[in-house]
A and B are shown apart, each in its own frame.
Chain A
Amino acid sequence: MGMDRRRFLKIAGLSAVMGLGGKAAFDLFAPGELEASVKDVPITAVKKWGMVVDMSKMDDEIMEKCIEACHRIHNVPNIGNLKDEIKWIWKEIYEHTFPGQHHQYVSEAYHGRNFLVFCNHCTNPPCCRVCPTKATWQREDGIVMMDQHRCIGCRFCMAACPFGARSFNYGDPRKAPKELNPDFPTNPAYPTRTKGVVEKCNLCAERLAKGEVPACMEAANKIKEDSLVFGDLDDPDSKVRELLREHYSIRRKPELGTEPNIYYIV
């Protein structure tokens, strides 16, 4: 081979300079152009949205109303079988909600009792870490959002979420059984999803933008005041912080370090 060390280094050096003049030069000499256009307006003044579920006020009827309100507003269909089920908010028994807390002598009041569960909007969301397309990410106000335009349906996030808060559309939601969804899509102002994307609770980001509260909270508080409270965890004067100060509260699977932002007063 007719190339000595000296010639090789010359060519290597020259290539590096050429490379610098090409694509790399744009990145080096005109930085931040992209970021500047993306960061237009800050999301909200809120630092960290959170919720408190007061189980002393919550009962099965309220939970059902919350689930119905959420699923109607977000066009979540009833698929009719557990394997393909799509849920943003649902009921889970105590043993499954707090597996680390359960023991054989647990009070009868809690044994088999239903809890209202949904996406915890974790401070360290494992779903966002594994998403290869950033289709799910954490907003500046703490909401773990989904961008259905970007989801490729790899379901890494479903494997990563320790709370089972994510559902996959194995089929077209508009082809869900008609007899179970007679008036689907129930909300013509909100999109449905398509086959092959993951979905979950978005803490009603579209309603927060209009200054409304999440649909589940609205439904719950119609029946019982303060059974579900939503607010800024970063603000020491907020209602959620007041409740957390006054009551003992627990979170789901705190040992995993995801720092859930949904608190349960028990």
Chain B
Amino acid sequence: MYDGWKIVIGLIIGIGLLIFPLFYNGLKAAKAPEPELTAKAKEAKECIESKSFMRTQHMKILDRWRNEVVRDANRLYESTSGMRFDKSLQNTCMDCHSNKSKFCDQCHNYMGVVPYCWDCHIEPKENK
């Protein structure tokens, strides 16, 4: 191997840079942020569906809602518990969860997802 020592040093530096973040965080994963509830959301006790369902399925619900509302003009959502809601991210979800930065963004940032909802839909005004 010609210039073997150069390659080995290069490899050490390269791999070192690659695994540096692991050691920088003390070999522990960053703690997942917990979504914060507003007083209004706490008072309601339950969202449109159960907490575990909302955790895993909220994006699918929102995706279905946007099609049903815009394309079929079907605007009423009936939950499993029989409650009725206006299918609206801006007017229903964000009415309770008006703390977007603590409720939505924290987790989305942690997971590295960038939903483009807010390119058009207006986010609630927050007192940060």
Cβ B72 vs Cβ A148 within 8 A: no
Q: B74 contacts which chain A residues (CB < 8 A)?
A: 40-41
Q: A149 contacts which chain B residues (CB < 8 A)?
A: 66-67, 70
Give the A-B pair count, Cβ closer than 8 A: 44
Task: Give residues of chain B (66-111) contacting chain A, Cβ–Cβ below 8 Å.
Answer: 66-68, 70-75, 90-91
Task: Compute how far the CA of A75 lies from the CA of B120 in the bound complex, rounded to whole angstroms.
Answer: 10
1/0 per position for B39-72, CB-CB distance to A under 8 A? Answer: 0000000000000000000000000001110111
In the complex, what residue of chain B is closest to A188 when comparing beta carbons?
A: B122
One of A75, A189, A194 near B119 (C-beta < 8 A): A194
Q: A44 contacts which chain B residues (CB < 8 A)?
A: 73
Interface of B is mostly: helix
Q: A137 contacts which chain B residues (CB < 8 A)?
A: 71
Cβ A205 vs Cβ B120 within 8 A: no
1/0 per position for A186-213, CB-CB distance to B under 8 A? Answer: 0011111111000000000100010000
Task: Compute how far the CA of A253 lies from the CA of B99 in the bound complex, rounded to whole angstroms.
Answer: 50
Cβ B71 vs Cβ A147 within 8 A: yes
How many residues on B have C-beta within 8 angstroms of the other chain's C-beta atoms?
16
Please tell me if B121 contacts chain A, counting CB pairs below 8 Å.
yes
Cβ A40 vs Cβ B72 within 8 A: yes
1/0 per position for A148-189, CB-CB distance to B under 8 A? Answer: 110000000000000000000000000000000000010011
Q: B72 contacts which chain A residues (CB < 8 A)?
A: 38-41, 43
Please tell me if A139 contacts chain B, counting CB pairs below 8 Å.
yes
Task: Give residues of chain A (31-51) contacting chain B, Cβ–Cβ below 8 Å.
Answer: 38-41, 43-44
Task: Compute how far the CA of A194 lies from the CA of B70 in the bound complex, rounded to whole angstroms.
Answer: 16
Q: B75 contacts which chain A residues (CB < 8 A)?
A: 209
Q: Name the interface size band of chain A.
A: 20 to 34
Q: B90 contacts which chain A residues (CB < 8 A)?
A: 188-191
Task: Compute how far the CA of A147 lies from the CA of B71 in the bound complex, rounded to whole angstroms.
Answer: 7
Please tell me if A127 contacts chain B, counting CB pairs below 8 Å.
no
Task: Compute how far the CA of A75 lies from the CA of B90 in the bound complex, rounded to whole angstroms.
Answer: 14
In the complex, what residue of chain A is closest to B94 when comparing beta carbons?
A: A188
Q: A145 contacts which chain B residues (CB < 8 A)?
A: 70-71
CB distance from A183 to the nearest CB of B (A): 13
Task: Compute how far the CA of A39 lies from the CA of B90 in the bound complex, rounded to whole angstroms.
Answer: 25
Q: Which residues of A contact B (CB under 8 A)?
A: 38-41, 43-44, 75, 137, 139, 145, 147-149, 185, 188-195, 205, 209
Q: Which residues of B contact A (CB under 8 A)?
A: 66-68, 70-75, 90-91, 116, 119-122
17 contacts between A and B (CB under 8 A): A39-B72, A40-B68, A40-B72, A41-B72, A41-B74, A43-B73, A137-B71, A139-B73, A147-B70, A149-B66, A149-B67, A188-B90, A188-B122, A189-B91, A193-B120, A194-B120, A209-B73
